[in-house]
């Protein structure tokens, strides 16, 4: 599955012509038209509270280019009875944005050879100007590339028993599948150190009491026999 797509590296040529490079997993890792790709297999999903709704930004919304821009995200929280913990693939990328207006940009990608389409002339500024004009939105003429993320819901299927998720993939103190899920108590992940310490003291105290009691009965029996 495709995990990342970097548009900023597109447009490179070999001998003056567009080209593709095959990646280690088979699909292209580079394409002149689209840039660099990262592919992966058997990817563990990320988990979020989800009420069935996904929100997204538009090309009218201002963004903060100093950090990764979430283009969409699942809606939900642990206090909502409609929300459930759901698995998602989080796809990352690098996409054009307006450095003056601080908005995401929509390029015109394909068209006749003499058009302003990116895949016709590989001119980002021309393609962005044409794309934003077509959708009726402002463009300052200044652009850059910003890191982005995009979520895709994944479907839970029943895997063969050999591939079933092990308990400790979620119930673990750190780096578990549910590491970022808040609002629920996860045995093995969550705990109170003070309560755990007191619990172990109680367990060891009980064990010590049992051993002392057993030792006392043994000594008492031997005295009676003597």
Give tens-digit pLDDT for 76-110: 999 999 999 999 999 999 999 999 999 999 999 99
Whether residue 175 lies inside any domain: the answer is no
- pLDDT tens for each residue of 150-183: 999 987 656 677 877 888 888 887 788 888 888 8
Using an 8 Å Cβ cutoff, are 40 and 1 in contact? yes
pLDDT at site 24:
94
Predicted TM-score (pTM) of the model is 0.77
Answer yes or no: is 76 within a domain: yes
Beta strands in the chain (DSSP E): 2-6, 20-22, 28-31, 35-39, 46-50, 53-56, 69-70, 72-75, 84-98, 103-104, 143-153
- State whether 98 and 149 are in the same domain: yes
187 within some domain? no
Please report the pLDDT score of residue 212 as a whole number.
87
Q: What is the structure's pLDDT at 130?
A: 97
Q: Domain of 75?
A: 2-169
How far is residue 199's CA from residue 188's CA, in Å, rounded to a whole number? 15
pLDDT of amino acid 225: 64
Whether residue 31 contacts residue 73, with contact meaning beta carbons closer than 8 Å, is answered with: no
* pLDDT tens per residue, range 31-75: 999 999 999 998 889 999 999 999 999 999 999 999 999 999 999
Give domain status of residue 44, yes or no. Answer: yes
Same domain, 224 and 118: no
Cα 46 to Cα 178: distance, rounded to the nearest angstrom: 8
Does the residue 149 lie in any domain? yes
SS3 call for 20:
strand
How many structural domains does the chain have? 2
How do 143-153 and 69-70 pair as beta strands? parallel
Per-residue confidence (pLDDT) for residue 166, from 0 to 100? 82
Of the spans 17-26, 150-159, 198-207, which averages the highest pLDDT?
A: 17-26
């Amino acid at each position: 599955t495709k995990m990342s797509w970097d548009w900023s590296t597109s447009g490179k040529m070999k001998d003056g012509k567009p080209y593709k490079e095959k990646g280690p997993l088979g699909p292209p890792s580079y394409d002149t038209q689209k840039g660099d790709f990262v592919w992966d297999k058997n990817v563990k999903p990320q988990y979020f509270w989800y009420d069935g709704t996904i929100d997204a930004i538009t090309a009218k919304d201002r963004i903060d280019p100093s950090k990764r821009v979430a283009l969409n995200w699942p809606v939900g929280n642990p206090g909502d009875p409609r929300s459930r913990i759901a698995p998602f693939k989080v796809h990352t990328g690098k996409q054009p944005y307006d450095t003056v207006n601080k908005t995401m940009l929509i390029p015109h990608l394909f068209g006749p050879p003499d058009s302003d389409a990116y895949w016709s002339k590989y001119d980002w500024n021309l393609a962005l100007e044409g794309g934003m004009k077509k959708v009726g939105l402002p463009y300052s003429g200044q652009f850059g590339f910003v890191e982005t993320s995009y979520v895709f819901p994944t479907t839970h299927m029943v895997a063969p028993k050999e591939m079933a998720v092990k308990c400790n993939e979620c119930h673990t103190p750190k780096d578990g599948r549910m590491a970022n899920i808040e609002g629920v108590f996860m045995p093995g992940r969550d705990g109170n150190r003070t309560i755990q310490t007191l619990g172990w003291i109680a367990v060891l105290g009980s064990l010590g009491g049992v051993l002392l009691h057993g030792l006392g009965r043994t000594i008492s029996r031997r005295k009676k026999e003597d």
